[in-house]
Structures are given as C-alpha cells and as structure tokens.
Amino acid sequence: MKQKYSTDMSPAERAALWRQRLFEAEAGLTRYLTESRGGQDIDDWIAVRGEIYAGLPGPSGAEAPEAWQQVFFRAQALMERFLVSRYGHEELAAWARAGAEVHRHVEPDHGRGALDPVLRIARQAELYGSRYEVTEDGPDRAALSITHCAIWDYREKARARGVGITLDSPCEYCVHAIGANVAAKGFRPRHELTDGPEGHGCHWEAECAV
C-alpha cells in the first residue's frame, strides 16, 4: 500500500548517516583486502586511508551534513579509484558484499520487516534530495521507486569541477551495494534501473527471503 513514510532527518541525523556510510564503505574495503587479497597493497591502502580521514570536520562541524557529504564523496571516489585501478571493475561487487557485512552489524533493526532496508535506501536518497516513493505490502515486502536520482546531479557537478571520478555511472557501485545490504539483512533484493522524464532513477524491492 502507498503510504507516506517519514525520512525527514535533522542536520545531526544527516551527518550521522554520512559518517555511517563512510564507515561501512571504508571498513568494507579493509575487509575485502583482508579476506580476498590477503592484505595485498597494505602500504598503498594505508596511504589512501590517510587521505580519506584528512581534514575531517572538527567538533564544531560534527553536525554539519554538507561537510560530511563532501568527506564521504571524496572517500568514495578515492576508494573506487584504488579498487578499480588494481583489481578491476568486476571486484566492485566483492567490495560491496564485504561492506554489507559491516552494514549488517551497524545498521539498527527497527522491527518493521522489509520496510527497514527499504527505508535505509530512502534515507540515502533523501541525503541527496532525490525524488522517490516508498510502498509496503505487509512485513514481507516493501519497495522504493526513485524517479529522479540526485546522486547523478552531484557527481556530474563534481566531475565538471575537475574532481577525478573513476566510474562512468554511480549505479556501477550503488546497485551492488544496495543489493548486498538488503541481502545482508535477510531479504531478497530486486531492482530495475529506469530513465524516465524526470531523469535517471531505479526501482527496488525487498522481500522476505524465507
């Protein structure tokens, strides 16, 4: 059933979600390097981690979502370049699965069934100002339709400013990451990428895997 679910977040909540996403992605890549690469490229990874965590907002910026968005975006770009330049695009899925294991432990369960992972996707969409709608069909199935993905807007503006971006499309990583996160929470993910009158978008479903 269609229903309005609140994804409104205070500045502090937005900043906290950016930090959690950063933690999930960075810890996931460390896990990937440990489990899949036997600690390969440790020295280079430590150097990249130094770049990721350089110049973080101080105590006065702890609740500044725009500052943490910039930190996350810079970190994501650095990690994508690190992984793809050494191991290839095909390893994005393995990184996403490793990050999903971190997500499984750090993302709270709110007891709302399939709606929980779908609302996490919606909150991520909300961070960028995307247009979307959430629907629910009981505790075993929920869906999210994004009609305009504002991640594309943010990335292309950054690319135009000369920011080095490795992937042609945010979907190259995002699809793997969202699908792995939903599966890590015990639900079966399904998705479809869309390109409609409002721009790039996608449709996600989470169903009980039992």
CB proximity list for 194: less than 8 A, separation 6 or greater: 146, 147, 200, 201, 202, 203
* pTM recorded for the entire structure: 0.93
Alpha carbon 96 to chain centroid, angstroms: 9
H or E segment and range at residue 79: helix 65-87
Give the CA radius of gyration of the chain: 17
Alpha carbon 202 to chain centroid, angstroms: 14
HEC letters along 136-156: ECCCCEEEEEEEECHHHHHHH
Residue written as tokens 């990937």? Answer: 32
Q: What is the full per-residue pLDDT of the chain (210 aa) written as tens digits?
A: 556 576 889 999 999 999 999 999 999 999 999 999 999 999 999 999 999 999 999 887 778 999 999 999 999 999 999 999 999 999 999 999 999 999 999 999 999 999 999 999 999 999 999 999 999 988 899 999 999 999 999 998 888 888 889 999 999 999 999 999 999 999 999 999 999 898 999 999 999 977
Tokens of 38: 């036997």
